[in-house]
Amino acid sequence: MDRQLAIGTRTKRRLVVVLTVVVLVVSGAVAQAAVKTVAVTSGSYAGKTSERGAVTFKIVHRQITGFLTYVGYNGSCGQGGGPGFKISIAKRNIPINAAGKFSTGITLQGPVRSVPNDTGTLTGTAAGSRVTGKIINLTQEHHTSCKHGYNETFTAQKS
């Protein structure tokens, strides 16, 4: 019986040591993640898309507001053209996480009533006073099996 208690005590001590190490490792990882928060400068931003269209927005307290641009067919499916779609995110904010990344669903607004709206995503990275990103049209299909004819990138600087 004494021997069972001795083994139980030794096992408990080992368990306490292992748990202490785990807590220290996890708290160290959390502390490191907190230290690596990317600085993002608040203000008005302006830039260009990969199709040389204007892009504008503001950053306030690590949130993108008033995002506005127009995207057009980028030729990824061959020669041709298509209507320009407006992307206006005026009524909601897009949060920028500690790593400087952001992502949100978007509506690509058709230029006239006969051109239906489309859906996509806006993703990117903010660091300091520079923002880069992608506008990805999720549903656009052309007469071939080629998809995503309205994908564009953008770069903007604090103005």
* 84-122 per-position pLDDT tens digit: 789 999 889 999 999 999 999 999 888 888 888 888 899
- 25 and 54, same structural domain? no
- 128 and 104, same structural domain? yes
The whole model's pTM is what?
A: 0.71
Beta bridge partners of 49: 154
- 105 and 74, same structural domain? yes
Instruction: Report phi then psi at 119, rounded to 5.
Output: -115, 160
Q: Which of 75, 33, 71 is nearest to 52 (CA)?
A: 71
- The DSSP code sequence of 83-113 is --EEEEE-SS-EE--TTSEEEEEEEEB-SST
> pLDDT tens, 62-74?
999 999 999 876 5
For residue 44 the two structure tokens come to: 């008005």
Relative to beta strand 63-71, strand 94-95 is: antiparallel
> pLDDT tens, 7-63?
567 777 776 666 666 565 556 655 555 558 999 999 999 999 988 899 999 999 999
- 127 and 79, same structural domain? yes
Q: Which residues of 18-30 are buried (b: 16+ CB within 10 A; e: fewer)?
A: eeeeeeeeeeeee
Beta bridge partners of 101: 125
- 52 and 13, same structural domain? no
Q: CATH number for the domain including 87?
A: 2.40.160
Boundaries of domain holding 109? 43-158
**Cα 22 from chain centroid (whole Å):** 31
Q: What is the pLDDT of residue 153?
A: 92
- 24 and 3, same structural domain? yes
- 26 and 89, same structural domain? no
Q: How many domains does the chain have?
A: 2
Mean pLDDT in residue range 134-158 = 72
- 59 and 117, same structural domain? yes
- 91 and 74, same structural domain? yes
- Residue 1, number of CB atoms within 10 A of its CB: 5
